[in-house]
């Protein structure tokens, strides 16, 4: 069964450093998403991406964040200058159709620890 | 933001049916109702979704009230592997709003 994969599984970085989290969505999917979950808290939407552009973003997704689909398979989330409060699990998801009507398939997540 | 209300926790005995309720009184006519679950240290996993009619799949059943202001996820025979946090989500726009969900404990 196709699945969303994410790398790395755990990323440790120093405050102020840039990090790139990588995701490989399911191959025939057209919509891509990033969510995050701070330890012990709920899953929060960050951004959705379709047709090579951001379609929606939350208040969390400020200028420090960016997303890119650099080739036909990868979908990345970049945090330019990490803060302590960016420590969280980051989940990538993809869907074949619009996310509100279709199933979003989530990856296993990347645990980001900012020291 | 979540727009759904669920009990914080529920318990079920193994191999018995479980009914997980969700209230979504502000649902609009085009909002789909999605259910996901999250096992410890894993990403959310799709369970089922529907719009107006009741839905069945290999994992569960979804019963949607006639006025669509509430729904119930039904696990027909709970197993220990069903212990997870279950989220009821309204599909709004191109994103999901996760609430705090219902933490299901399955008692052997």
B46/A55 touch (CB, cutoff 8 Å), yes or no: no
Chain A residues lying within 8 Å of B38, measured CB to CB: 43
**Residues with Cβ < 8 Å from B12, sequence gap 6 or more?**
B18, B75, B78, B104, B105, B106, B107
Q: Can you tell me the mean pLDDT for A53-61?
A: 93
Tens-place pLDDT, residues A76-112: 999 999 999 999 999 999 999 877 778 899 999 999 9
Tens-place pLDDT, residues B11-48: 999 999 999 999 999 888 888 899 999 998 899 999 99
Q: What backbone phi and psi angles, to 5 degrees, belong to B86?
A: -105, 125
Q: Out of A101, A106, A108, whose CB is closest to B32?
A: A101
Q: What is the rounded radius of gyration, in angstroms, for the C-alpha atoms of chain B? A: 13
Contact A33, A47 (CB under 8 A): yes
A98/B94 touch (CB, cutoff 8 Å), yes or no: yes
Q: Out of A42, A56, A101, whose CB is closest to B95?
A: A56
Quote the CA–CA distance of A6 and B45 in Å, as a whole number.
Answer: 15
Quote the CA–CA distance of B17 and B95 in Å, as a whole number.
Answer: 31
Per-residue pLDDT at B99: 84
B44/A91 touch (CB, cutoff 8 Å), yes or no: yes
Q: Can you tell me the mean pLDDT for A13-21?
A: 97
Cis peptide, bond prior to residue A18, ω within 30 of zero: no
Closest approach of A17 to chain B, Cα-based (Å): 25
Contact B22, B70 (CB under 8 A): yes
B2: pLDDT strictly greater than 80? no
B1: pLDDT strictly greater than 70? no
Q: What backbone phi and psi angles, to 5 degrees, belong to A4?
A: -85, 135
What mean pLDDT value characterizes chain B?
Answer: 92
Quote the CA–CA distance of A106 and B96 in Å, as a whole number.
Answer: 12
Residue of A nearest to B30 (CA): A101
B94/A106 touch (CB, cutoff 8 Å), yes or no: no
Quote the CA–CA distance of B76 and B63 in Å, as a whole number.
Answer: 12
- Banded pLDDT at A67 (limits 50, 70, 90): very high
């Amino acid at each position: 069964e196709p699945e969303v994969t994410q790398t790395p599984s755990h990323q440790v970085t120093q405050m102020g450093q840039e990090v790139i989290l990588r995701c490989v969505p399911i191959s025939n999917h057209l919509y891509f998403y990033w969510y995050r979950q701070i330890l012990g808290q709920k899953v929060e939407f960050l951004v959705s991406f379709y047709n090579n552009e951001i379609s929606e973003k939350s208040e969390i997704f400020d200028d420090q964040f960016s997303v890119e689909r650099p080739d036909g398979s990868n979908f990345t989330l970049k945090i330019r200058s990490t803060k302590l409060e960016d420590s969280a699990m980051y989940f990538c998801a993809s869907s074949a159709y619009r996310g509100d009507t279709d199933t979003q398939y989530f990856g296993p997540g990347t645990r980001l620890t900012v020291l | 933001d979540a727009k759904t209300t669920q009990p914080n926790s529920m318990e079920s005995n193994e191999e018995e049916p479980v009914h997980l309720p969700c209230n979504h009184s502000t649902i609009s006519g085009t909002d789909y109702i999605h259910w996901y679950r999250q096992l410890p240290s894993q990403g959310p996993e799709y369970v089922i979704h529907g719009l107006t009619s009741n839905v069945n799949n290999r994992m569960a059943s979804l019963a949607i009230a006639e006025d669509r202001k509430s729904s119930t996820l039904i696990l027909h025979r709970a197993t220990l592997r069903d212990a997870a946090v279950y989220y009821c989500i309204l599909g709004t726009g191109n994103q999901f709003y996760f609430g705090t969900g219902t933490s299901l404990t399955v008692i052997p």
